[in-house]
Amino acid sequence: MCGRPGRTLDPRRMVCRYPARYKTGRHRSQHPPFPPAASPARAPDVQPTSRIDIDLDAIEHNVRTIRALTGASVAAPVDAANTGGAPDPALARQGMLCAIIKADAYGLGAPPIARRLEAAGVELLGVYTPEQARDLLAAGVTRTAILLLMPSYAADLDGLLLAPARAGRLHASLHSPGQLESLARRAAQLGVRLPVHVEVDTGMRRGGSRPDDAATLVEMVASSSSLRLAGVYSHFASADRDDATTRAQAAMFEAWIDGVRAHIPQDCVAHQSNTFGVFRARALHRDMVRVGLALYGYALEEAHDAQNFEHREHAASLRPAVHWETRLIHATRVEPGERVGYGGTWSAQRPSRIGLAPVGYADGYPLAISNRAMVGLRDASGTTRYAPLVGAVSMDQITIDLTDLPETCAHVGASVELVGVDREAPTHLPSLARAAGTSTHELLCRMSPRLPRRYFATDLARAEIEPRDQRLSTSVR
Q: How far apart are CA 98 and CA 111, in angstroms?
A: 16
Q: Is residue 51 part of a domain?
A: no
Indicate the residue among 265, 283, 316 that finishes a domain: 316
Q: Is residue 49 part of a domain?
A: no
- Strand extents, DSSP E, 30-89: 50-55
Residue 259 and residue 153 share a domain: yes
Q: Is residue 128 part of a domain?
A: yes
Q: Is residue 148 part of a domain?
A: yes
Percent of the chain with pLDDT over 70: 82
User: Annotated active-site positions, please?
Assistant: 102, 342
Contacts of 474 (CB under 8 A, 6+ apart): 112, 454, 455, 456, 457, 460, 465, 466, 467
Q: Is residue 155 part of a domain?
A: yes
Q: Is residue 22 part of a domain?
A: yes
Specify the 3-state DSSP secondary structure of 312: helix
The residue range of the domain holding 270 is 56-316
Q: How far apart are CA 238 and CA 235, in angstroms?
A: 9
Residue 228 and residue 300 share a domain: yes
Q: What is the pLDDT of residue 382?
A: 82
Q: What is the pLDDT of residue 256?
A: 98
Residue 268 and residue 352 share a domain: no
H or E, element range at 316: helix 312-316
Q: What is the pLDDT of residue 379?
A: 82
The tally of domains found in the chain comes to: 2
Q: What is the pLDDT along the chain (477 residues), one digit of tens a residue?
A: 344 444 443 433 333 333 343 343 344 555 555 544 443 444 445 689 999 999 999 999 999 999 999 984 333 333 333 333 333 343 345 789 999 999 999 999 999 999 999 999 999 999 999 999 999 999 999 999 999 999 999 999 999 999 999 999 999 999 999 999 999 999 999 999 999 999 999 999 999 999 999 999 999 999 999 999 999 999 999 999 999 999 999 999 999 999 999 999 999 999 999 999 999 999 999 999 999 999 999 999 999 999 999 999 999 999 999 999 999 999 999 999 999 999 999 999 999 999 999 999 999 999 999 999 999 998 888 889 999 999 999 999 999 999 999 999 999 999 999 999 999 999 999 999 999 999 999 999 999 999 999 999 876 544 433 333 332 233 333
Q: How far apart are CA 291 and CA 280, in angstroms?
A: 13
C-alpha closest to that of 278 among 317, 323, 229, 252: 317
Tally of residues, the chain: 477
Q: Is residue 393 part of a domain?
A: yes
What is the CATH number for 289? Answer: 3.20.20.10
Q: What is the pLDDT of residue 46?
A: 67
Q: How far apart are CA 112 and CA 125, in angstroms?
A: 13
Q: Is residue 458 part of a domain?
A: no
Q: How far apart are CA 36 and CA 200, in angstroms?
A: 55
Residue 275 and residue 261 share a domain: yes
Indicate the residue among 286, 301, 316 that finishes a domain: 316
Residue 354 and residue 212 share a domain: no
C-alpha distance from residue 376 to each of 1, 29, 277 (Å): 19, 10, 34
Residue 357 and residue 379 share a domain: yes
C-alpha closest to that of 410 among 376, 446, 369, 445: 376
What is the CATH number for 401? Answer: 2.40.37.10
Q: What is the pLDDT of residue 207?
A: 94
Q: What is the pLDDT of residue 404?
A: 96
Residue 356 and residue 283 share a domain: no
> Amino acid identity of 410?
A
The answer to whether the CB of 252 falls within 8 A of the CB of 79 is: no
Q: How far apart are CA 59 and CA 37, in angstroms?
A: 32
Global confidence as pTM = 0.84
Q: How far apart are CA 396 and CA 8, in angstroms?
A: 29
Q: How far apart are CA 68 and CA 468, in angstroms?
A: 33
Q: What is the pLDDT of residue 47?
A: 82
Residue 144 and residue 158 share a domain: yes
Residue 213 and residue 93 share a domain: yes
Could you tell me which residues are beta bridge partners of residue 390? 399
Residue 401 and residue 294 share a domain: no
Residue 301 and residue 332 share a domain: no
Q: What is the pLDDT of residue 66?
A: 97
CA angle in degrees (0–180, nearest 5) for 327-331-336: 135
Residue 177 and residue 61 share a domain: yes
